[in-house]
Structure 1
């Protein structure tokens, strides 16, 4: 094989000399004082430092240290980065390559393809300006502009960026991707679509290998069943677990129509479970009388899963029975809520506090446990346990068992009272219509004359007490009381009795604990 016979000059000031390794044919031409071309053809190979250039033919100017390569060009950059094209112009003193036509760059992890690429051998940076694509396993990224960093294996995509991976896509204007780790970094407003779910994010990352994501700057998740937002969101697609931190808001789109607000919410996509802490608030929405619930902790999941391992307590003589959701036409009702510690409930028609709560979307029953107190207009109701039944998200019925007591404030001094083993209360249009105390029933009741002046105070015991209320625009007023079976009682003149002493045992007016507005819930 014949090598070039032209004199070789020291090019140290312009970068190391491009050395000829081999070629099938060589031809030397001295065109002028600054143009000295050595043409290599047939498996032409040259080298500069640790970079090897191969092509069908190479034209090398040894004075300027510039080469042009044609056909099946291959640049081997220290066995770490390989670049291919059909045309190459290489500036030796700058170690910069200009590649055209069917350009491909690979680092052993990802493959970059484009029609035009500028690659710097010193910085290991490759740039394209007229469209390119990177393929890394199942991940495919395209953009108008791209910047490849060989040292870090990062690719910086700009303009019309689109990422496609198994199960999701990303559309944005700017994106950073690492071919080694498979991590996609969100640096600009981006839209991520996965099935029926869309995520709007400005900052964060997605680990395509481990299927984990983390987003900042209040991203928004829009799913077919809900929307979710928070200051920060962390998602693990493999486990189905996610965490929403900082002013987290969950809004359901189902018929139950509820919002969950908290400082922190953890979710399990596989079980549809939600755990809300840091001042959580549940809103059961309706046009005129939304129900607000606050507690130290709120938890929600699928009712059908709970009932596989646990029976929900049912009132024996209740009008509404709790059933499984297997035959339910509305699968959206297959959800329950639990609230723990310092529970508060507010709606315009009903308020309550308790230690813990259970609510089912299947039967629309609030179950209040441990020192529960409920208020409806001027009525205060207490007992060991209280069930509140809703119809169309409005109070329909209230059931109290064990140590049940109802107190109605008339004045600062006078209070109607009924007490029994159980109390059943019924509502019309969200207002109390009647109450029934049953079992060891007791009452203190203030009677009125036709001029609505107090006649006397009655204290009595019997088996059953029914109290009926008159519906007024401003609220409800006691209309009459009916005492049934085994009646014993006394009527006292108003001026001849100590009204505090005749109160029923365990009488406590607890209005100070009553949530007066939704703002009491939000400030909990």
Structure 2
């Protein structure tokens, strides 16, 4: 017996010298039974059975049984295997093969790895103690709280707590479903990073992106490489997108394009910068924005420096647009509180330009609501319909099926049409109401103190026969095919008719006359290209 123990001690001493050349020694801490075997001079084993504990520096190995080759500094463990890597990463399995020189482990069957936050399970795992990198290639799953990720391949980095998932990656969370080919997930901060085409479904919204990140804990995200987002109302694309689901706010930058799904009363939007608030149902578009209001098969194009939209039912809330809000508040019917196409309003600020096939307009600011299909134009507005121009301090233009139905002009109202050469038919007053038929102006009533008019009469051949300048309390102008056909003066008429050769037609202008045809939007292509 003494000779046997001496032999073991001699061999162990020699093995320690050898293993120092290969790597840190695997030391036996405890076991219920030991069995030493020496097959030849280079193959020596110690079999351990029952509550086995082995240590290498700060790493502890536990198992039901194990075989230790101290010559090669390797460990093979069976049953309830547990690796405690410096109290930072814990790994479990039914089987372990560990190479002490390289500090690399191969685990098989019922493998589980945890860093205190996430839990990785798989059938086979390679784990490097030096780099703290674990690899599975036959399918695995990571559970971190309520977040579950699965993939064919996975690479766990213990130092940073990052996991790279590859091939058939699926992430499921109470608020998100994500599918992709490659994904990076950090178990500590709950951040998902996308590096390949990815599809995200969250709260009725679908997102397609090629790159970006999503903080599942803070509900914040950023997407690059022109992501696409779709919900029940429409689809939006931009070069870059950042949003915060906790507040409902989002920002879109670079060639932003929104396409609404409602073709009857919906809208499309183009801009270089867009801010949205889902909780308020609002957006603010800047950097050359364009609004396309859809009415059945026709469209109305609106350009401005800034476009804003929100729920009409929230209009009574305080906002920094008193000039527009005060003008429309209390003048419209009660709104439907539901999020619908008609429960929205649109505002435009600075350099407003509007184009449709039948009507064009400009102004400093605009308010529009689908509830009454009325464009409210403020500060130096101008409206054109066929050959006629309307101006005033404020103009309300009502549309039906994308064509003008009526217009109301408030303060300093004036209507002008070009009769030919330097001849202009003119009507001016305090207020004006215009009515349209099939998109053409049909009747115009002007009121003032008094109202004024200049009208060029023509014979049946179209030759000018004279010009009339008159005033009256009310002037009714009738049109035929968009041109002046007849004028009726009501109450306190005072006027004079002149032969064509007895007046200076360039000077024959009512106060406030401005012919602004050069500012008129000529086509939708002009609006689109601005």
2:469 is the alignment partner of 1:456: no
Determine which of 425, 437, 457 is the counterpart of 1:416: 425
TM-score in terms of structure 2 length: 0.93
Provide, for residues 152-173 of structure 1, a one-character-per-residue CA deviation record: whole Å limited to 9, x for no partner: 1100000000001121111001
- The answer for the alignment partner of 2:480 in structure 1 is 470
- The answer for the alignment partner of 1:5 in structure 2 is 8
The question of whether the paired residues in 1 share the 8 Å contact of 2:337 and 2:343 is answered with no
The question of whether the paired residues in 2 share the 8 Å contact of 1:351 and 1:374 is answered with yes
**Alpha-carbon distance in structure 2 between the residues aligned to 1:466 and 1:327:** 41
Alignment of 1:78-477 (within 5 A): 78-254=86-262, 255-286=264-295, 289-307=298-316, 313=327, 322-326=332-336, 331-439=340-448, 440-471=450-481, 476-477=482-483
Q: 1:314 to 1:140 in 2, by over 3 A?
A: closer
Shift of 1:312: 6.2
Q: Could you say what the CA RMSD is over the residues aligned between the two structures, in angstroms?
A: 2.0
- List gaps (5 residues or longer) in structure 2: none
**Alpha-carbon distance in structure 1 between the residues aligned to 2:113 and 2:317:** 56
**Alpha-carbon distance in structure 1 between the residues aligned to 2:164 and 2:447:** 75
2:509 is the alignment partner of 1:503: yes
Shift of 1:429: 2.0
Provide, for residues 338-371 of structure 1, a one-character-per-residue CA deviation record: whole Å limited to 9, x for no partner: 1111111111111111111111121111110111
**Alpha-carbon distance in structure 2 between the residues aligned to 1:506 and 1:194:** 57
The question of whether the paired residues in 2 share the 8 Å contact of 1:233 and 1:242 is answered with yes
- The answer for the alignment partner of 1:488 in structure 2 is 494
SS at match of 2:314: helix
Shift of 1:103: 0.4
2:52 is the alignment partner of 1:44: yes
Higher mean alpha-carbon deviation, 346-355 vs 481-490, is at 481-490
The question of whether the paired residues in 2 share the 8 Å contact of 1:383 and 1:405 is answered with yes
The question of whether the paired residues in 1 share the 8 Å contact of 2:267 and 2:291 is answered with yes
**Alpha-carbon distance in structure 2 between the residues aligned to 1:391 and 1:477:** 21
Shift of 1:287: 5.4
TM-score in terms of structure 1 length: 0.94
The question of whether the paired residues in 2 share the 8 Å contact of 1:312 and 1:322 is answered with no
SS at match of 1:160: strand
**Alpha-carbon distance in structure 2 between the residues aligned to 1:5 and 1:132:** 43
Determine which of 27, 38, 41 is the counterpart of 1:30: 38
Between the two proteins, the alignment pairs up a number of residues equal to 514
Shift of 1:469: 2.1
Q: 1:486 to 1:51 in 2, by over 3 A?
A: same
Higher mean alpha-carbon deviation, 119-128 vs 282-291, is at 282-291
Which structure: greater helix fraction?
Answer: 2
SS at match of 1:332: coil
Higher mean alpha-carbon deviation, 35-44 vs 427-436, is at 427-436
Shift of 1:331: 3.2
Higher mean alpha-carbon deviation, 120-129 vs 512-521, is at 512-521
**Alpha-carbon distance in structure 2 between the residues aligned to 1:389 and 1:41:** 91
Higher mean alpha-carbon deviation, 135-144 vs 6-15, is at 6-15
The question of whether the paired residues in 2 share the 8 Å contact of 1:325 and 1:331 is answered with no
The question of whether the paired residues in 2 share the 8 Å contact of 1:307 and 1:324 is answered with no
Shift of 1:315: 11
Provide, for residues 218-244 of structure 1, a one-character-per-residue CA deviation record: whole Å limited to 9, x for no partner: 111101122222111111111111111
Q: 1:287 to 1:324 in 2, by over 3 A?
A: closer
